[in-house]
Structure 1
Amino acid sequence: MMRKWLLGTVICGLMVSLAGCGHVQKEPGPQREPAVQQNREPLTGLPTKNRDPMILMVMINNHHHARPQTGLSRADWVYEILAEGEITRFAAFYHSEASGVVGPVRSVRKYYLDLAKGLHAVVAHAGGATNAMETIKQEGLPHLDGIHEDERYFWRVGFRKPPHNLYTDLGKLVQRARSKGYDAMPLQLPLTFSAQGATDRGKPAEQIHIVYHRLYNCGYAYDSGRQAYVRFTQGEKQEERESGQPLTMQNVLVIRAKHRIFDSAGHREVNIAGSGNGFLFQKGKAIPIRWENRSGVIVPTVRGKIVSLVPGKTWVNVIPENGKVTFE
């Protein structure tokens, strides 16, 4: 029987730092952590596949007319947050695999930009909400706009209707970013990875069910053969459009954050600048955590110390405070 667990239980973990990449050189703070791990991907902790320091964040459509998507399986990290109404949108971060077609691409919101700034990513998007576009302009954020000045690096497909038919190619985005002078610089990300993660403290969680809105839910099922969670949306397995392969990930982070609708169009403010309660799911286990925003990066913590991720891909579900998460 499915058991509901209230977010908020706290346990211990270990904090170390991991080398990463980005667009702004951060001033180093006090160094208490062990030496930085070398030759590892900054977002997955796996052996390095791509030495180019550039990170891309691509806004991916999750409307039912946009599924199944292309290229989500290549993302190192994926954030899922509500846009307007009951529809969520994905911010997919690419580094270890930086080639191939992705889409459909959609517009950006300001809270996604907050995530991009933390990882110093170049944002690929199709326009955006007014406050998001103003932020890009005022702060000079690195971005590639598929319906304005960078449109020739994006294209429309014929098998879907607008606005669910805009696609791009990661390799072309990197080339365009270079031509616009978006040169990445090294930085340290507040992430740590270990083979077992924090699973020694977890409760069984092979089935996860998440409710964002009364009209939208998603979930994950642990596949012991793949040593990964398999993604479901609205009760259906979510797959890559071309290959038909399921979307899988080693870490699922579910966090609560304050949401507020601020206009008649239903645009939201989502507060991901502070901290809150959540769960980290790894290897079929649930670890109650408290999430914190450390230098613009959302990390799972226990008693103020960052807990380890399992090497591999991570999906982050940012749900409203009245959202629900259950597991068994």
Structure 2
Amino acid sequence: MKMKLAIFSVLLVCLAGCQPDSIPVPKNQEPRTELTSPITGTPVPETESRPVMMVMINNHPHARPQSGLYLADVVVEILAEGEISRFAAFYYDHLEGTVGPVRSVRDYYLDLADGSGAVVAHAGGSPSALDRIRNEKSSSIDGVHQDEKHFTRVSFRKSPHNLYADLEVLRQVAADKKFPAYDGKQAYLFSRSAATGQGQTAEKIELIYHKLYKAGYQYDRASKAYIRYTEGERQTDRETETPLAMQNVLVVFAKHQVIDYAGHRDVDITGSGKGYLMQQGKAVPIEWKFRNGWIVPYSNGKEIALLPGKTWVNVLPLTGKVFFQ
């Protein structure tokens, strides 16, 4: 009996010594990892390649409140005709939900899309913009021409303020058309430390695009985000009533020029200029440069990091004004 116990003990020691330090996990059982979004700097679940969608969103008074703007990763606001601005809303982190009303595109918005490689969802466009899309074979989904069937006209608003789209449908259309996925280039530098720590107080921001159009933001300390206002009214999502909130507000000045009788503008967003960056209730002056389709802040020749999260870029004419307190 003692001999059997001794042999059993020796076997146990031998087996223990032969065990590997760790058991490898089969490849098909490896835990999913999180990636950092190149657009927002926030974690996103690892997933298959996907496009950046740039949706042209209407900002006419009859189009408010809009749908899906609160979901956008980056929003660029520029004047269209007259005193009305329009939003180029970029979606990448989350490609689901209703967006609209969808409106027409202009050449300077195509500068953003072409530079970043975004797929443009729009409702027609100016003659020069449509010519450019055709000539350059741009990644375009046009809701009033060849792709009308992929959009929806709603009954609670009048045309042209009643065209809507579903981001999942747009993504599928982009795949069916074999439009390229986003190449993953980092849109901005990101840091969890605000770059505006030594800046001026900017808890309330007022922007004057035109004598007949004003926008603004108010900093909410509880959520550590800016809340968007248009013409003094807090902007919310039509369906969810979620406030439009963002961690970074960029205000930049660019040359605007009316170029035809219809009031179409040429806006120089592919160059550089002056502006301000607002984060966490503070503002600092910046220089902006156009890089790969994105309007990027710099100071003394060095890129300024944004806070991880959403960013709104306001492109004002040189005659525009900004006030903060």
Which category of TM-score, normalised to the shorter sequence, fits these structures?
Answer: 0.7 to 0.9
1:203: how far off?
Answer: 1.3
Is the contact made by 1:209 and 1:218 (CA closer than 8 Å) also made in structure 2?
Answer: yes
Structure 2 unaligned spans of 5+:
1-33
Is the contact made by 2:39 and 2:187 (CA closer than 8 Å) also made in structure 1?
Answer: no
* Structure 1 position 67 matched with structure 2 position 67: no
SS at match of 2:185: strand
Deviations 1:112-134 (A, max 9, x none): 00011121100000000001001
Structure 1 residue aligned with 2:156 = 159
- Indicate the percent of aligned positions where both proteins have the same amino acid: 55
Structure 1 residue aligned with 2:41 = 45
1:265: how far off?
Answer: 0.4
Q: Could you tell me how far apart the structure 1 residues matched to 2:58 and 2:215 are?
A: 15
Q: Answer 1 or 2: higher relative contact order, Cα 8 Å, separation at least 6.
A: 1
Structure 2 residue aligned with 1:327 = 324
Q: Could you tell me how far apart the structure 2 residues matched to 1:213 and 1:43 are?
A: 29
Which residue, 117, 121, 125 being the options, matches 1:120?
A: 117
Task: Tell me the number of residue pairs that the alignment of Structure 1 and Structure 2 aligns.
Answer: 291
* Structure 1 position 280 matched with structure 2 position 288: no
Is the contact made by 1:61 and 1:103 (CA closer than 8 Å) also made in structure 2?
Answer: yes
SS at match of 2:168: helix
Q: Could you tell me how far apart the structure 1 residues matched to 2:37 and 2:207 are?
A: 29
* Structure 1 position 94 matched with structure 2 position 87: no
Paired AA for residue 117 in structure 1? D
Which residue, 203, 206, 217 being the options, matches 1:206?
A: 203
User: Which range moves more in the overlay, 200-209 or 250-259?
Assistant: 200-209
1:59: how far off?
Answer: 0.2
Structure 1 residue aligned with 2:126 = 129
Structure 1 unaligned spans of 5+:
1-37
Q: TM-score, normalised by structure 2?
A: 0.88
1:189: how far off?
Answer: 2.7
1:294: how far off?
Answer: 1.9
1:223: how far off?
Answer: 0.1
1:185: how far off?
Answer: 5.0
Structure 2 residue aligned with 1:76 = 73
Would you tell me which structure has more helix in proportion to its own residues? 2
Which residue, 199, 212, 222 being the options, matches 2:219?
A: 222
Q: TM-score, normalised by structure 1?
A: 0.87
Superposition RMSD on alpha carbons, in Å? 1.1
Is the contact made by 2:124 and 2:143 (CA closer than 8 Å) also made in structure 1?
Answer: yes
* Structure 1 position 148 matched with structure 2 position 171: no
SS at match of 1:199: coil
Q: Could you tell me how far apart the structure 2 residues matched to 1:188 and 1:197 are?
A: 22
SS at match of 1:278: strand
